[in-house]
Chain A
Amino acid sequence: ETGVTQSPTHLIKTRGQQVTLRCSSQSGHNTVSWYQQALGQGPQFIFQYYREEENGRGNFPPRFSGLQFPNYSSELNVNALELDDSALYLCASSLGGADREQYFGPGTRLTVT
């Protein structure tokens, strides 16, 4: 069974640019959630996708958007990058349903300069 994978591992972007982060779910998982973890903080929920549709969102502006594909892999897109977007971005997959466990990937470290 393959775990959750994320790419790239590290990324450096300039303020104002756009970035796409990728996540491959654990085999068979149909739900993906994205989290932003700033240095020294706990992860903050960005949004969740279930069967290719966004079904929940945290307090993040619309420039944070996502996609989930038929194979349940997912992308997180961030437009007009700001310095405060520098963080570790974590993806978590699960089978959906409130009692299902989330499995986290290793994260993508984004630095905005």
Chain B
Amino acid sequence: AQKVTQAQTEISVVEKEDVTLDCVYETRDTTYYLFWYKQPPSGELVFLIRRNSFDEQNEISGRYSWNFQKSTSSFNFTITASQVVDSAVYFCALRPSGGYQKVTFGTGTKLQVIP
């Protein structure tokens, strides 16, 4: 069985602060993919990143960075110098690398960036 835990239900930060969203996962699969999605109030899920379980390199994309640690089953997401437009619900997700594409999502972290 797969499980994704996002312990932070809601986070509020002041604009320009850095913020880290935590994600811990459980899986028996030896190979898998991890994802982060952003869901603005409009409802559409916006893909942010996919990480293969073989690749533990951290990744940076502009103000976004991701820290994947297989030893602790964590895949944390940091936004540097947050902006009001970053306000949304963020989901961490997990999918086996084989078989059909069942994605298991966490319960999400609602981020509010205050001007």
Contact B102–A56 (Cβ < 8 Å) = yes
Rounded to whole Å, the gap between the CB of B37 and the closest CB of chain A is 8
Residues of chain A at interface, number, CB under 8 A: 30
Chain A, 77-105, contact with B by CB distance < 8 Å: what is the 0/1 string?
Answer: 00000000000101010101011111111
Could you list 25 examples of A-B contacts with CB < 8 Å? A35-B105, A40-B107, A42-B4, A42-B107, A42-B108, A43-B45, A43-B105, A45-B103, A45-B104, A48-B101, A48-B102, A50-B100, A56-B99, A58-B102, A92-B45, A98-B97, A98-B98, A98-B101, A99-B97, A101-B47, A101-B50, A104-B44, A104-B47, A105-B44, A109-B43
Instruction: List residues of chain B with CB within 8 A of the CB of A98.
Output: 33, 95-99, 101
Q: Indicate whether A73 reaches chain B with its CB closer than 8 angstroms.
A: no
* The residue from A43, A56, A105 contacting B101, defined by CB atoms under 8 A apart: A56
- Measured in the bound complex, the distance between the Cα atoms of B42 and A106 in whole Å is 7
Q: Does A33 contact B (CB under 8 A)?
A: yes
Q: Is B91 an interface residue (CB 8 A)?
A: yes
Closest residue of chain B to A103 (Cβ to Cβ) is B47
Distance in angstroms from B110 CB to nearest chain A CB is: 9
The one of A40, A45, A109 that contacts B102, using a Cβ cutoff of 8 Å: A45
Question: B97 contacts A42, CB within 8 Å?
Answer: no
Give 1 or 0 for each of A46-63: 1 = CB within 8 Å of chain B CB.
001010000110100000
